[in-house]
Amino acid sequence: MSSSSFSYLQNRIRHLDHLKEDLKENGNFVNIDDVWAYKDLSTEGKAIKEVIKQDFNLDHNMKKRIIDSFQ
């Protein structure tokens, strides 16, 4: 993985960590790269995973690493 790809992944995970905190507080609508999904607090992890799966800017391995970070 190139350093720019790795940097992107790190920033992505940081962004999603903030997103998780936001969801715990208000369970709101959030936007990741213009893909919208409703975040119900009871399905926060599932909703985040669905958004990640729809993010075409991430390759399969990046998606897996990010999703695994939520386990």
Residue 22's pLDDT is 63
> For residue 42, is pLDDT > 50?
no
Rounded alpha-carbon distances, angstroms, from residue 22 to 32, 36, 54: 13, 15, 20
> For residue 26, is pLDDT > 50?
yes
Residue 34's pLDDT is 34
Spatial separation of the C-alpha atoms in residues 45 and 53, rounded to whole Å: 12
- With tokens 């959030």, the residue in question is 30
> For residue 13, is pLDDT > 60?
yes
> For residue 65, is pLDDT > 60?
yes
